[in-house]
Chain A
Amino acid sequence: MKFGVVVFPGSNCDHDTVYTLENILEQEVVEIWHKDDDLQDVDAIVLPGGFSYGDYLRSGAIARFSPIMKQVIEFANRGGLLIGICNGFQILCETGLLPGALLHNNNQKFICKNINIIPDNNDSAVNATLNKDKALKIPIAHAEGRYFAPEEDLSKMRQNGQILFRYCDESGVVSREHNPNGSVENIAGVCNELKNVFGMMPHPERAADDELGNTDGRLILESLIKSFEEKRVSSYN
């Protein structure tokens, strides 16, 4: 599988993402500068974490209009696989490819720690092969991660299986006490209606290397790769 990792000015998880996909998951990876106009025939695009454009105005608001985003949006609209992690999730919400928005954490602090998330279903490429009863330990690192969407959007998302992950405790119980940032319904990740565009605040690429003592994030990326290889989830290529 061939991945493209988009690099914006201020991206800082691009190298972690490339390292994890290339060295640990043994996939082909190309970096795509945000001013490029060629997606290089990739099978999936990752918008990595970081502080694109210094988070000026709102996180992701300016990166959303970077030159490459025109092609990225067309790629997604043709059914291509697109995943945004952290700042990448914020960018995808700003484009409107994903419903909702990411607001300042309810405690107004930058939170950087391991949290637990649980797959809400097995309906999407990124959670298809995960155990629905087992919490995954994944790090978060954000100041603007409080997911919000109006109730009418949320009810459609619930019905359509668009909620990918929720914050929970170690045993997988979803509760207010284990909601790190005040996200509505503990939502940590969502996808679009067609289930080819994914966004999540936790960083699976930071929890993939044995050396770091936590490899739960690898399961999420492996799920995406397996889904692509077995089911050919992308209709684009």
Chain B
Amino acid sequence: MKFIAEINVMPLKALLDPQGKAVSNSMKNIGFQEIENVRIGKHITLEIECMSKETAMEKINEACNKILANPIMEGYEYTIKEA
């Protein structure tokens, strides 16, 4: 079975996200007074061939922990669906 995963990798909340901060500040400057706390991360999509959704999720967790995210500075979450 083929699945498609959509993964979001985000900088940890405790850490300064300079990109997000710069964009937050510019939001105010261009008139979006109601927008704050912009944080910027990465969106990754991938396809994975596995026997079941459970094994696909196991593999994706493994890939996220091994390379796609660095747990010292980032967290991740994902959704998965059949392709």
Contacts and interface: CB of A to CB of B under 8 A. Distances in A.
Contacts of B73: 101, 103, 148
A61 interface: yes
A62 B66 CA distance: 11
B50 interface: no
Contact of A108 (B11, B18, B68, B70): B18
A182 B17 CA distance: 12
- Chain B binding surface, main DSSP class: mixed
Interface string B56-81: 00000000000110101100000000
Interface size class of A (residues with CB under 8 A): 10 to 19
B22 interface: yes
A107 interface: yes
A100 B72 contact: yes
A57 B16 contact: no
Interface of B: 11, 15-16, 18-19, 22, 67-68, 70, 72-73
Interface of A: 57-58, 61-62, 65, 93-94, 100-101, 103-108, 148-150, 182
